[in-house]
Amino acid sequence: MLLRKDTRKINWLMLAKVIGWLLMIESGFMAIPCAVSFAWGEQDGWIFATFTMLTFFTGYVLNHFLRPERHTMGKREGFLLTALVWVVFSLFGMLPFLLCSHRIGAGDAFFEAMAGFTTTGCSVYADPEELSHGVNLWRALMQWIGGMGIILFTLAVLPMLNSSGGMQMFNAEVTGITHDKIQPRISQTAKGLWLIYIIITLACALLLWLGPMSLFDAVCHALGTVSTGGFTTRAAGPAAWDSGYVDTVITVFMFTGGTSFTLVFMAATGRFAAVKANATFRYYASTVAVSIGIFAAVMAIKMGWGSTLRGVLIDPAFQIVATITSTGYVVQGLSGWAPVLLGLLLPMMVFGACAGSTSGGAKLDRMLVLTRYVRNSLKRTLQPNTITKVEIDGRVLTADTVNQAISFLALYAIVIIFAAGVLTLMGVGLSDSLFCSASCVSNAGISPDAFGGDLAISSLPVAGKMVLSLAMLTGRLEVFTILVLFMPGFWRK
């Protein structure tokens, strides 16, 4: 590759052109709630129609009339595009909230859109039942798009990004320490992942529909469950149906959503041995299983003779999976659970599930690296001459990879503490600030009041919501992609 003078300048025109493409895609998604709204005969249909057109034309104009000199995108353009796309999507995605039948301010609307796309799922709407079908479906769809990744979707449908620039964006958006491909070409990988994603979502919707939910609620919840988002159509969430069946189905699909989709792809193509041997998946499954055991025991002791299957097993399993996959659904009466259980849920929320899944958090893959690295360090304290290595799935990780995973964890903690610090400046209490910040950075979206605190995230001032929006994005794009933009060297010519 040849270095030319102009490669030091960021190719803004090309960025805008690609964003134009992406906006046209977003307008395509927006057309779905538009049609649904009209089908229900709601006024919001017109709002959606207007903004679908607006988004489409903005995208069309950007894409069609810009003529960049170079069509190449370097490393920096890749990072910048990935970060920008998420913001631009949220900016256009929030438009319907501003004018729909149940209006909210621009700050709240941006927060809602960002919470959707990053699959955080903490809503400013106290009672989603007041919202039109169109708005509710749009909220669910946003999570679904963001869950697998906006860029990943684009890579699947736009052949023009099928180059090294696309690779860069894939690396910037897909979660995890290393990024597994399932096919040699990035577009095939993206198509494979999306296909799996669509099939799982359909299966989830179908199973929910077979239960007490209406088709509409089933679809919305399937979109929110598989993407591990957490938006719902009722104030109480899935608990509103008060059904063991609904909770079990959702638990299973949240668990699937928290599994690496590469693994799901392998399982779907019959390679179960590889799935069983995968260290992270075993770690994930055993963490969930052990936690369910502990919770069940504590619940059984607490409830004594009044124990029910629901109270001892289904509810705790639901809550554990909803927390570890960062979905953020909450069962009825969670705040009344034994404090030790709430204390156990917290680290699960921060660590999240497997990399390459739709879940948030710092990812168990890195926890696994950390555990093995710490074990090695301890071993070396006793026997300084031991040669140690961090091995995962039979592959020895290079020192660079280990360093990257550990520095990520350090940065992750710093981001949580920093965002919490900014919240305290706005007069939010220290523990609530920390909880909100951790919940948003790990894209869980659980509000402190669900854990027995006093504060609901939706009641924060607009400035606080903006801070949390940025925190959500930083968490979703796994810190580096966002933080690198704040490095002076990134912008220097």
Partner 1 sequence: MRIVIAGAGEVGSHLAKLLSNEDQDIYIIDENVERLDTLNQKYNLMTVQGNPASFLALRQASAGSCDLFIAVMPHENDNMVACSIAKFLGARRTVARIEHYEFMEEKNQQFVKGMGVDKVIYPEYLAAEQILTALRRTWVRQWFEIQNGEIIVVGVRIRSDAKMCGMHLKDFASTHHNFHVSAIKRGVETVIPRGDDKMEEGDILYITTRREHVNDLLALTGKVEHKIRRVLIMGGSKIAIRLAAMNRDDFRITVIEKNRAVCDKLAVRCPGLESVYWGDARDIETLADVGIDSFDAFIALSESSEANILACLTAKEIGVKKTVAEVEDIQFINQAEGLNIGTVINKKLLASSSIFQLLLDSDSSTSKCLALTDAEVAELEVKPDSKITRAPVKDLKLSREMTLASLIRDGKGMLVTGNTVIQPGDHVVVFCLAGAIHKVEKLFN
Please report how close the Cβ of residue 274 comes to partner 1 at its closest, in angstroms: 11
User: 1 burial class (0-12, 13-18, 19+ CB within 10 angstroms)?
Assistant: exposed
Confirm or reject binding of residue 271 to partner 1 (CB under 8 A).
no
Please report how close the Cβ of residue 194 comes to partner 1 at its closest, in angstroms: 17
Confirm or reject binding of residue 164 to partner 1 (CB under 8 A).
yes
Q: How far apart are CA 212 and CA 157, in angstroms?
A: 36
Site for partner 1 in 356-395 (CB under 8 A): 395
Please report how close the Cβ of residue 56 comes to partner 1 at its closest, in angstroms: 28
Confirm or reject binding of residue 269 to partner 1 (CB under 8 A).
no
User: 135 burial class (0-12, 13-18, 19+ CB within 10 angstroms)?
Assistant: buried
Q: How far apart are CA 36 and CA 252, in angstroms?
A: 28
Nearer to partner 1, 184 or 304 (CB): 184
Site for partner 1 in 169-188 (CB under 8 A): 171, 181, 183-186, 188
Confirm or reject binding of residue 274 to partner 1 (CB under 8 A).
no
* Residue 168: CB atoms within 10 Å: 21
Site for partner 1 in 393-432 (CB under 8 A): 395, 398
SS3 sequence, 225-243? Answer: HHCCCCCCCCCCHHHHHCC
Confirm or reject binding of residue 2 to partner 1 (CB under 8 A).
yes
Contact 354, 392 (CB under 8 A): no
User: 240 burial class (0-12, 13-18, 19+ CB within 10 angstroms)?
Assistant: middle
Please report how close the Cβ of residue 186 comes to partner 1 at its closest, in angstroms: 5
Nearer to partner 1, 171 or 437 (CB): 171
Q: How far apart are CA 335 and CA 372, in angstroms?
A: 34
Among 13, 35, 167, 346, binds partner 1 (CB under 8 A): 167
Count of chain residues binding partner 1 (CB under 8 A)? 16
Stretch that binds partner 1, among 157-165, 209-217, 361-369, 379-387 (CB under 8 A): 157-165
Stretch that binds partner 1, among 50-58, 159-167, 360-368, 417-425 (CB under 8 A): 159-167
Confirm or reject binding of residue 166 to partner 1 (CB under 8 A).
yes
Q: Which of 434, 436, 431, 435 is nearest to 461 (CA)?
A: 436
Residue 95 amino acid letter: L
In Å, the largest CA–CA distance within the chain is 77
- Interacting residues toward partner 1 by CB under 8 A: 2, 4, 162-164, 166-167, 171, 181, 183-186, 188, 395, 398
